[in-house]
Structure 1
């Protein structure tokens, strides 16, 4: 694939879940939508001009996604399909957009670790992003990537971040970029000295996002103001956009500004509907 300047850009393989989500807010926003970090991050990267490949396991209920309008622009060659239901999330937020409760049924994603390791074995020189969320065995996947000398970045999900950061700690200094929100960053600092980390992108809702390299502040960007309709997936959108723009040669400051703007547009837009299977 060519980037905006006509140069060849490596594809980004995104290991994570694709899910059916139900979001709830006290003011009655939210509802059923298509979600999952592997999907939302891949869509953001593709929109920013980078070929993105979800490395995921789909259940029978979402087997039609690769042919769904708007999703057929992704490279679905790394998906696996299994009998059963896809992951479901029930996400409850407060009025400030902070997650207060989550219910999960992982469904066929219980097979994600095995599928991801097979995929890495087939593509050991790829470029990966690992969504460090349950039920993925993060230690097994990161160890394989690190031993192969593969480029990889990571992110976390606050309800499981403490356990996942501890599980991933040994390999985090080898990651090109870590994406965390402010609360996850506080957990990260309890486990590892930030001066050991090549790059950390820290978001804080509507407040400034920053990039720290080996602990030193190198860029900052305040998201443009947009009324939030749906906050779930904003971090995935930011990460996908940032990784895409950096791969195309944008400076850290440019990539962060574009990524925060993309996340702000995302939270103001309608949620991604769950497409109905095509008949016939």
Structure 2
């Protein structure tokens, strides 16, 4: 693409392999269901949703120069995503994520994002070499950043002049990686998107609901947080006030990617000029529709 992207999506770009069944499952079960391979990863999930809202996201990540990587880049370009700043590394395999869902809940998942971790700061080169910015003239637009990066790289980003003017929107990727976001917790330009469990990990607390989780994060130094709790109330808390919204009731048919959809829909609404309350409601509505299986 030759046009300037509307937003940068930094983090995991990989293949999702998702198995879903409408039957209940317990450990050791073997049940009939459907298995699909689809483009995924937090950064890519966010980018795909932003594209559906008419925005042009650029991907900063890594894929291998292998069949999986070439197929993934082709799929991303077919969706209209900007892959011009994507690192292609012949020495690394393309990353994968594998999950099993039963009756709309996650049974188990494995994230193989080792190539992203190995690539490290090399994925950020376009922000330094003038393609998207430099230390002297940093990127000034929004950035969606996910916690699949290493804690060391996230700590560098928290102090980097390359991000000094960016509107940082940050997600942990999963509860298992939530602690990686601690270097960004007190960043003056960061908005954190977490669920209740991830908020508890970040703050060392056990919040009873989304509001308590948001309070704990703000008390720990966060500038602004959006906390979700599944079908319960979602909260947007900042110094300018606290808002809440309840998702519409739906039958859950899938879960992987719901948080990414919430975050992307919220960012898209705010970039379109929506007020905070309107943007929060748009985000919970989009996530509920996604969970119901009606879109995406």
Equivalent position to 2:44, from 39, 44, 48: 39
Equivalent position to 2:287, from 260, 263, 278: 263
1:94 CA drift (Å): 6.3
Q: Which residue of 1 aligns with 2:16?
A: 21
8 A contact 2:127–2:162 mirrored in 1: no
SS for the counterpart of 2:111 is strand
| Long gaps (5+) in structure 2 | 26-30, 206-215
1:146 CA drift (Å): 7.0
1:110 CA drift (Å): 3.1
The higher relative CO (CA closer than 8 Å, separation ≥ 6) is in: 1
1:165 equivalenced with 2:181 (yes/no): yes
CA shift in 2, pair 1:193/1:244, >3 Å:
closer
1:177 equivalenced with 2:201 (yes/no): no
Separation of aligned partners in 1, 2:143 and 2:289: 25
1:200 equivalenced with 2:251 (yes/no): no
Q: Which residue of 1 aligns with 2:210?
A: none
1:89 CA drift (Å): 1.8
Separation of aligned partners in 1, 2:83 and 2:200: 35
User: Could you report, residue by residue, the CA deviation over 1:44-70 in whole angstroms, capped at 9, with x for unpaired residues?
Assistant: 112223221121112221323343388
Moved more, 14-23 or 62-71: 62-71
8 A contact 1:21–1:33 mirrored in 2: yes
| Long gaps (5+) in structure 1 | 1-8, 273-280
The equivalences for 1:20-169 within 5 A come to 20-24=15-19, 26=25, 31-34=35-38, 35-59=40-64, 60=66, 61-68=68-75, 71-83=78-90, 84-93=92-101, 97=105, 99=106, 101-121=108-128, 122=130, 123=133, 124-126=138-140, 127-135=142-150, 137-144=153-160, 148-169=164-185
1:190 equivalenced with 2:195 (yes/no): no
8 A contact 2:147–2:178 mirrored in 1: no
1:87 CA drift (Å): 1.1
TM-score, normalized by length of structure 1? 0.80
8 A contact 1:133–1:160 mirrored in 2: no
1:236 CA drift (Å): 0.6
User: Could you report, residue by residue, the CA deviation over 1:172-210 in whole angstroms, capped at 9, with x for unpaired residues?
Assistant: 332341100011122233397514322211111111211
CA shift in 2, pair 1:66/1:150, >3 Å:
same
Q: How many residues align?
A: 262
